[in-house]
Structure 1
Amino acid sequence: MSASVAVRRASRWQDSVRLLLLIDAAAVSPAEGETVPASTVGVVHTQVRLQKLDFWVRNPDYLAYELMNEYEAAPDVPRLLALAAEILESEEPDLRRFPMLRYKYGAFEELDDALAPLVERGVLRKTQILGQERIVEHIYFLLERGREVARSILAEAPVLAWYVERTRMVVELVDGLGGTQLKDRQYLLRDYADTPWGKHIVPVTDQARARLLELQAASVLAVADIDDTEVS
């Protein structure tokens, strides 16, 4: 485990834009009978799920590790390994990393400041379901205006193309999984799980790059074995 983490902070504008794009990518149609604000086009349930998706956007080395997990489970999908290589063979793990703290339910960061401008501008609404002693669930409603803004970002700010592509990749990778399932998957990495509460989750770039080399070598050997079998 790395001894320290260089803590980079995104601006509130960066956080707001990233979360808008992530909510746009992750939002699903409201359930039948679900009460939603007027002009709602999509819903994201639970803060835990949103936090865990955001962690993979903000920590490309962990995302690459998850892509390699998926590749090992489905080696007939080489695109997964190629995507991991694209991340790890670049400077992305350092340039795009914005560390998150670890708390009881894993990676965490207060979202209110970043979401406030989206609510103020009428692109997002949010609510809470209260239990007897605590908040049971946070719900985020993407409004028509929010979808319009999210979909127009590329035309107005091409520099944000990476965030558009990455948020969609992350959501596609874990399509249908809830917040608890994502939390459990992220805890499988020891560096993540062993991070003390209240400390920033350490990077795993070196471990991920070493694993990538192993998988690439195994992939080459597998192709060679297939070729030998066909020849014989």
Structure 2
Amino acid sequence: MAFADGVRRASRWQDAVRLLLLIDASVQPIPTGLDAPDEAVGVARTQVRLQKLDFWLRYPDYLAYELMNEYEAHRDDIGLLDLAEEILGSEEPDLRRFPMLRHRFGAFEELDEALAPLVEKGLVRKTQILGTNRVAEHLYFLLQLGRQVAGDLTSEAPALEWYVTRTKQLVALVDGLGGTQLKNRQYLLKDYAETLIGQHIAPITDQARERLARLRAVSPAALSAPTVEETS
């Protein structure tokens, strides 16, 4: 969906579905002592982490770049490079991109509007842990009906299988990392970090494809240690 300003935006339904599948893929078992709804089957912790995951889902070229970062850090996992090539060799970077604005702490978009239909339908429950002067943490509980709906979506709309696959791959890529760690990793790319506040973050598809070609041109044994030359 495109608007008068030329920026492609998702519909409310698309945002809600994407967020449901992302929460379904990223929830963890509910720890003992955490006050959770009786029908909850898992919890996704922190708003920052969910937003940073959503950024990579909405910018496949940035996800491919992160896969290449991981490949250079773990040179024995050629699958990371294969997945980056799968993304960059297709129309995915254009077809799946839904731009986000650069805010004070990086890519940001309020989640409440996308969450609203999920909460209304009893699929997700959002709660907060309060600190002394502000909210210390946002919690997103996936409810039993939410898991059921997430599992049924692809049979009703097979095109959504892409989101199921990518959300699982994305969560596996960043397993164990918190929101602040993900934010810091995204800031390593100069194009992202230097986007002016209030501007949409631009794609890096050509840059990512050039890097992929360089990595494919050398053997794994010849790869140098990971660099972040883009930040220099």
Q: TM-score, normalised by structure 2?
A: 0.90
Aligned to 1:166: 166
User: Displacement of 1:157 after TM fit?
Assistant: 1.2
Secondary structure of the equivalent of 1:218?
coil
Once the two structures are superposed, the pairs formed by residues 106-185 of structure 1 within 5 Å of their partners are 106-185=106-185
Q: Distance in 1 between matches of 2:27 and 2:105?
A: 22
Determine the structure 1 residue equivalent to 2:186.
186
Tell me how far 1:105 sits from its aligned partner: 1.9
Superposed CA deviations along residues 19-71 of structure 1, whole A, max 9, x for unmatched, are 00000000001111111011110101110000000000000000000000011
| TM-score under structure 1 length normalisation | 0.90
Q: Contact (CA 8 Å) 1:48, 1:105: kept in 2 or not?
A: no
Q: Secondary structure at the match of 1:19?
A: helix
Structure 2: give runs of 5+ residues left out of the alignment.
Answer: 223-232
1:221 Cα offset (Å): 8.5
- Structure whose CA Rg is larger: 1
Contact map agreement 1:124 1:143 (CA 8 A) in 2: yes
2: CA distance, partners of 1:107 / 1:131: 24
Deviates more, 1:153-162 or 1:124-133: 124-133
Structure 1 CA distance for aligned equivalents of residues 62 and 219 of structure 2:
21
- State the Cα deviation string for residues 59-109 of structure 1 (Å, max 9, x = none): 000000000001111111111000000111111111110011111221110
Structure 1: state its 5+ residue gaps. 223-232
What residue identity is the alignment partner of 2:97?
R
2:68 matches 1:62: no
Give the whole-Å Cα distance in 1 for the aligned partners of 2:68 and 2:144: 36
Match of 1:9 in 2: 9
Instruction: Please show how residues 70-81 of structure 1 align to structure 2 within 5 Å.
Output: 70-81=70-81
DSSP 3-state at the match of 1:201: coil
**1:7 maps to amino acid:** V
Task: Please report how far the alpha carbon of residue 150 of structure 1 lies from its aligned counterpart in structure 2 after TM superposition.
Answer: 0.6
Q: What SS class does the counterpart of residue 198 from structure 1 fall into?
A: coil
Q: Which runs of 4+ in 1 moved over 4 A?
A: none
Following TM superposition, by how much is the alpha carbon of 1:132 offset from its aligned partner in structure 2, in angstroms?
A: 4.1
Distance 1:219 1:113 in 2: 47
Q: CA deviation at 1:154?
A: 1.4
Does structure 2 retain, via aligned residues, the 8 Å contact 1:124–1:146?
yes
Equivalent position of 2:200 in the other structure = 200
Match of 2:48 in 1: 48
Alpha-carbon distance, 1:130 to partner: 3.0
